[in-house]
Amino acid sequence: MSIIETHGVTVSYGGRAVLREASLTLQPGESVSLMGANGSGKSTLVRAILGLAPLTAGKIELFDTPQRRFRDWKRIGYVPQRLGVAGGVPSTVGEVVAAGRLAHRRLLMPSRKRDRAVISDSLEAVGLAHRATEAVTTLSGGQQQRVLIARALATEPDLLILDEPTVGVDADTQATLAEVVGDRIRAGCAVLLVTHELGPLSSTVERALMLSEGDIIYEGPAPSGDHDCETPEQHPVEQGEHCHGDQTTVPDRNIWGAT
């Protein structure tokens, strides 16, 4: 079974293609990062996968189901990019994380005890169990990011999608995130991570796709450690071609540093 399969996905805004013929496969327990400079199309690919960006061409399957027929969204935990968890009404940390259980409660109606246990475990995983009753507005940016991660974990997802989860967050939160993501992968969850740099997540991510101006220009092993000085050596993808070609050319520039 594939968790995600996209084939030739193209997204255009105002007649301009911002993502061209993107093909990506993600299997259970696999971790893949989408990398690339600002505006290269990373978030657009994620939004297309989630059904939030309209396709100009191509097709997407989620859990072996065509996306238009896919209804099991509770299998997907999504941590959006740089979203304040607090809207107009201040919610407590516990309430925000509990929102991650709503789909489960509506569809399956498990015991409330089970919901409370999952919410508590999710808060524990991100080190915020002791802040559950506090308003999210009282938390730092890094702590708010942890709340979003806990909310995604509370869905008990088979696919976890994180969009730039490490931007603007402290080193402790990054380390916690790496731990949480590593735990989920070991439990069989697939992870799709959008990031400029892997940082502490480099040891948990196996495969990377590099986007440039809407094209996937590389698919292969993720850079390890300090990727700024690395050049990928396997499966590079020439500009404008699909990522599954059998090519052996190494890009003549340092694409990992292209931020």
Ligand X SMILES: Nc1ncnc2c1ncn2[C@@H]1O[C@H](COP(=O)(O)OP(=O)(O)OP(=O)(O)O)[C@@H](O)[C@H]1O
| By CB under 6 A, residue 168 contacts ligand X | no
| By CB under 6 A, residue 31 contacts ligand X | no
Closest approach of ligand X to the CB of residue 163, in Å:
8
| By CB under 6 A, residue 6 contacts ligand X | no
Identified binder of ligand X from the candidate list 21, 22, 42, 85, rule CB under 6 A? 42
| By CB under 6 A, residue 236 contacts ligand X | no
CA distance 145 to 174: 10
CA distance 188 to 190: 7
| By CB under 6 A, residue 80 contacts ligand X | no
| By CB under 6 A, residue 200 contacts ligand X | no
Judged by DSSP in three states, 244 sits in coil
Give residue 240's region: left, alpha or beta (phi > 0; psi -120 to 50).
left
Q: Tell me how crowded residue 171 is: count the other CB atoms within 10 A of its CB.
A: 11
Output the CA angle 197-237-4, nearest 5 degrees.
Answer: 70
Identified binder of ligand X from the candidate list 36, 77, 80, 236, rule CB under 6 A? 36
| By CB under 6 A, residue 43 contacts ligand X | yes
Closest approach of ligand X to the CB of residue 16, in Å:
8
Task: For the chain, give the number of residues.
Answer: 259
Closest approach of ligand X to the CB of residue 41, in Å:
4
Identified binder of ligand X from the candidate list 6, 31, 33, 40, rule CB under 6 A? 40
Residue closer to ligand X (CB basis): 41 or 94: 41
- Environment class of 142 (CB within 10 Å of its CB; exposed 0-12, middle 13-18, buried 19+): middle
Residues interacting with ligand X, by CB under 6 A?
13, 18, 36, 38-44
